[in-house]
């Protein structure tokens, strides 16, 4: 689910009561502040407001929203969800002129902001206000395209300012509809104070806007992506997959995603596997998750590439096997439809079919749940299917002949015994989840320590960085991200001349990451944990100096650059490059790969660092890089996380740096706060035995004895 959608859900839940009361009170006010001349203000602003449309792969309109001019030379601001990722974008001005977007000049998915450039000049930009100074109760107007009614205007007031996930939002008493998103929120002087981005689920006269000061930050440090590159983001490999019948099929980090209506009857759409399918008997499986259980998505098989195929998929909480013999509902045959206890609503489910010459077997999460003797269709393609306006994700697609066929398990007939067992499991569930989390953390920690052992040149830094992310998120698909890194390296190598110098390779790599693909430093959400997860940095093209440097270093290694190293400048990790016979250069990966001298780097961090020693410019070892990454996450946890999260990072840091007295002391302190004296004594005993400098051993001894 996108960050904007996640935010919407949180808003809907958190504000169900409080905001509804605020909105009702606002509606009952007898004297709402008004803008003196709404007509004149609207007339002046209207020529700067645009209609933004994005299109699907089939060329049909896929979504519409609003935006506004922020620069005379063709920069248009809007919301990220209005342009959508990897879609063709068209901007229509008030005079009727239409322009295709040339580039996405700046974007930030988490903030739901985007700026696109069109080939137009002498436009009239709207003045940007100061949203920090915007007061509760101030009158505002919004201009947009609600439900397709272009350049509509509505007046209201600022109800409040709210914090969501560390980001400020402006709450407005204004009706917002589909098509308003991205439009400007104007104050009484015609200055933009925010960008409308969502409506409330509880009441019509309640909406939210992204503060314009956040947009200013984005404009100050853009991350431009050319349109030809934007259109390929998340695209499926055509050698592996072929989408049919519309909808939006995309791939990111090993997962295939689908959304939007298909052009087939009932919103049907297919995505067919392009490689050879073995003759029966064969098996196909996929792990699928529906955003809404009322939808339908799963496996397609024995497809003629058009309307004829089978489908095995969850729908409305049930499993269904259907044979599709044509384009309409009259040519569909539901062969099996049933509920099964093995399906987990709202979660990932692995579904599998075994196709034999005279029967079809169906499995859910390893359990055989269905058998059909239907043999009408054979010798077709296999793949994925979705129906209606379903949003779904798929992973671990498999086609083969060697998977083991499960045997259906019969459940006990005694209902009371089942209920008693269910109650017992419910009581144990919390402890089991804790145990599972601890087991995952321990296994990942062990794998990370193992990955960092051995000779420095043989340590796989990228793999270790993925394990740091997996420490917090068990679903990180390490293999998929490694494959994505290889794909990026292959694309880079294809653009290199055979005899390219190291200097030319560095220039090509820098352009590839920061100009062609829009990777950039996180400007407005620096302390978000996602910036320390290398997988999310790859997904969002945004991160910290350290994680961007890891990606840069690993791509450099894969294209044969051996004289590129990590440079542990305090507070601002960089990449160092020393060309043959040339002077050292520092690459500021946080700021678009800008080249710096050592003195310029010192000047950059001078305000936050008292003094920088020579060691700050010596190559960082891979274990040191991973430790620094863990310390970044530790800092986030200490500022607002739980003791369990803090310990998770401290455990790995101590395992990687067993002689670090400060980390052992910190871990002992957290263990005591949790009431785990036995665990705290382990670190205290180590400190007493090793007598590190700067530690009050007498005090530690007293503390140890008290535990």
- With beta carbons less than 8 A apart as the criterion, state whether 313 and 297 touch: yes
Secondary structure element (H or E) that encloses residue 51, with its range? strand 49-55
Task: Output phi, psi for 400, to 5 deg.
Answer: -175, -170
Q: Residue 153 has which token pair?
A: 């205007």
| Most distant CA atoms of the chain, gap in Å | 85
- With beta carbons less than 8 A apart as the criterion, state whether 167 and 525 touch: yes
The Cα 427–Cα 431 span in angstroms is 8
| Burial classification of residue 389, based on how many CB atoms lie within 10 Å of its CB (0-12 exposed, 13-18 middle, 19 or more buried) | middle
SS3 content of the chain, % helix, strand, coil (to 5): 35, 30, 35
Task: Output phi, psi for 596, to 5 deg.
Answer: -130, 150
Helix, strand, or coil (residue 8): helix
Secondary structure element (H or E) that encloses residue 490, with its range? helix 478-495
Whole-number Cα distances in Å, 397 to 241, 285, 387, 571: 11, 6, 19, 42
Task: Output phi, psi for 700, to 5 deg.
Answer: -65, -40
CATH architecture of residue range(s) 629-706: Alpha Horseshoe (1.25)
Q: Do 241-400 and 437-625 fold alike per CATH? A: no
pLDDT for the residue 641: 80
pLDDT for the residue 230: 86
- With beta carbons less than 8 A apart as the criterion, state whether 2 and 109 touch: yes
Secondary structure element (H or E) that encloses residue 92, with its range? strand 89-92
pLDDT for the residue 415: 61
pLDDT for the residue 615: 83
| Dihedral angle, C-alpha 291, 294, 298, 300, nearest 10 ° | -140
Alpha carbon 142 to chain centroid, angstroms: 29
Domain edges within the chain? 3-228, 241-400, 437-625, 629-706
The Cα 87–Cα 89 span in angstroms is 6
Q: Residue 356 has which token pair?
A: 């034999």
DSSP E strands, 132-189: 139-144, 152-164, 167-173, 184-186
Q: Which residues contact 612 (CB under 8 A, 6 or more apart)?
A: 569, 570, 602, 605
pLDDT for the residue 9: 40
In degrees, to the nearest 5, what angle opens at C-alpha 110 toward C-alphas 546 and 149? 155
In degrees, to the nearest 5, what angle opens at C-alpha 424 toward C-alphas 418 and 427? 145
For the segment(s) 3-228, the CATH number from 2.130.10.10, 2.60.40.420, 2.40.10.120, 3.90.1300.10 is 2.40.10.120
CB atoms within 10 A of CB 80: 24
Are β-strands 225-226 and 332-338 bridged in parallel, bridged antiparallel, or unpaired?
unpaired
* Dihedral sign (CA 414, 418, 419, 420): positive
Whole-number Cα distances in Å, 473 to 98, 395, 444, 498, 529: 44, 16, 10, 40, 12
The Cα 472–Cα 61 span in angstroms is 39
Secondary structure element (H or E) that encloses residue 632, with its range? helix 622-640
pLDDT for the residue 670: 92
Query: Which CATH number does 437-625 carry?
Result: 3.10.620
pLDDT for the residue 15: 40
Mean pLDDT of each 10-residue bin along the chain, 707 residues long: 45 39 41 68 90 72 86 95 83 93 90 94 95 93 72 86 82 78 92 84 72 93 87 81 89 85 90 94 95 94 95 95 92 94 94 95 95 94 94 93 45 59 70 78 91 91 96 89 91 82 92 90 84 92 94 94 93 91 89 92 85 87 96 91 89 94 92 89 91 85 85
DSSP state of 357: S
For the chain, what's the residue count? 707
| Domain 241-400 superfamily per CATH | Exo-inulinase; domain 1 (2.60.120.560)
The Cα 271–Cα 332 span in angstroms is 19
| Dihedral angle, C-alpha 519, 624, 451, 447, nearest 10 ° | -90
Q: Residue 294 has which token pair?
A: 């009322």
Q: Angle between the 643-656 and 622-640 helix axes, to the nearest 10 degrees?
A: 160
Whole-number Cα distances in Å, 184 to 126, 191, 195: 9, 9, 5
- With beta carbons less than 8 A apart as the criterion, state whether 194 and 97 touch: no
């Amino acid at each position: 689910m996108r960050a904007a959608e996640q935010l919407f859900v949180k808003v809907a839940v958190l504000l169900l009561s409080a905001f509804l009361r605020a909105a009702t009170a606002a509606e009952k006010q007898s004297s709402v502040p008004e803008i003196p001349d709404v007509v004149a203000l609207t007339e002046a602003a209207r020529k700067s407001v645009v209609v933004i449309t994005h299109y699907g792969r089939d060329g049909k309109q896929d979504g519409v929203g609003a935006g506004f001019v922020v620069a005379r030379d063709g920069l248009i601001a809007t919301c990220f969800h209005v342009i959508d990722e990897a879609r063709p974008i068209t901007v229509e001005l008030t005079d009727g002129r239409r322009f295709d977007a040339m580039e996405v000049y700046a974007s930030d998915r988490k903030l739901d902001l985007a700026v696109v450039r069109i080939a137009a000049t002498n436009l009239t930009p709207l003045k940007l206000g100061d949203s920090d100074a915007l007061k509760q109760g101030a009158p505002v107007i919004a201009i947009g395209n609600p439900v397709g009614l272009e350049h509509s205007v509505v007046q209201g007031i600022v109800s409040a300012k709210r914090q969501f996930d560390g980001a400020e939002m402006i709450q407005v008493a204004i009706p917002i509809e589909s098509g308003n998103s991205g439009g400007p929120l104007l104050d009484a002087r015609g200055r933009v104070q925010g960008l409308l981005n969502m409506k409330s689920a509880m009441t019509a006269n309640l909406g939210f806007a992204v503060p314009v000061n956040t947009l200013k930050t984005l404009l100050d440090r853009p991350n431009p992506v050319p349109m030809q590159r934007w259109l390929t983001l998340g695209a499926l490999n055509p050698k592996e997959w072929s989408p049919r019948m519309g909808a939006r099929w995309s791939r990111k980090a090993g997962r295939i995603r689908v959304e939007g209506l298909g052009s087939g009857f009932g919103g049907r759409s297919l995505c067919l596997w392009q490689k050879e399918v073995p003759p029966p008997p064969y098996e196909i499986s996929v792990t699928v998750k529906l955003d809404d259980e009322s939808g339908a998505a799963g496996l397609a098989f024995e497809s003629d590439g058009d309307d004829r195929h089978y489908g095995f998929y969850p729908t409305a909480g049930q499993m269904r096997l259907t044979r599709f013999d044509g384009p309409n509902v009259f040519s569909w045959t539901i062969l099996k439809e049933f509920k099964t206890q093995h399906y987990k609503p709202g979660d990932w489910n692995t579904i599998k079919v075994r196709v034999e010459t005279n029967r079809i077997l169906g499995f859910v999460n390893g359990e055989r749940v269905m058998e059909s003797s239907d043999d009408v269709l054979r010798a077709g393609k296999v793949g994925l299917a979705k129906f209606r306006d379903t949003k779904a994700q798929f992973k671990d697609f498999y086609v083969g002949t060697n998977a083991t066929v499960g045997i259906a398990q019969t459940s006990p007939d005694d209902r009371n015994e089942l209920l008693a067992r269910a109650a017992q499991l419910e009581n144990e569930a919390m402890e089991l989840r804790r145990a599972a989390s601890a087991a995952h953390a321990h296994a990942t920690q062990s794998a990370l320590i193992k990955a960092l052992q051995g000779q420095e040149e043989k340590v796989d830094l990228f793999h270790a960085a993925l394990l740091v992310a997996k420490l917090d998120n068990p679903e990180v698909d390490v293999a998929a991200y490694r494959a994505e890194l290889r794909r990026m390296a292959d694309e880079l190598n294809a653009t290199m001349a055979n005899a390219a110098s190291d200097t030319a390779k560095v220039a090509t790599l820098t352009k590839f990451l920061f100009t062609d693909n829009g990777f950039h430093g996180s400007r407005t959400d620096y302390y978000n944990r996602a910036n320390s997860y290398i997988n999310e940095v790859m997904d969002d093209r945004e991160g910290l100096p350290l994680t961007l440097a890891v990606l840069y270093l690993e791509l450099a290694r894969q294209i044969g650059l051996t004289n590129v190293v990590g440079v542990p400048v305090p507070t601002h990790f960089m990449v160092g490059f020393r060309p043959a016979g040339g002077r050292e250069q520092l690459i500021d990966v946080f700021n678009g790969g800008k080249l710096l001298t050592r003195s310029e780097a010192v000047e950059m961090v001078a305000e936050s660092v008292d003094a920088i020693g020579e060691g700050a410019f010596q190559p960082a070892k891979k274990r040191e890089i991973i430790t620094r990454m863990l310390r970044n996450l530790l800092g986030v946890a200490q500022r607002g996380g739980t003791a369990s999260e803090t310990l998770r990072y401290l455990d790995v840091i101590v395992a990687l740096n067993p002689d670090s007295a400060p980390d052992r002391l910190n871990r002992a302190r957290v263990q005591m706060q949790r009431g785990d004296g036995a665990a705290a004594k382990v670190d205290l005993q180590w400190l007493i035995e090793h007598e590190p400098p700067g530690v009050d051993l007498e005090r530690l001894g007293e503390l140890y004895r008290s535990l």
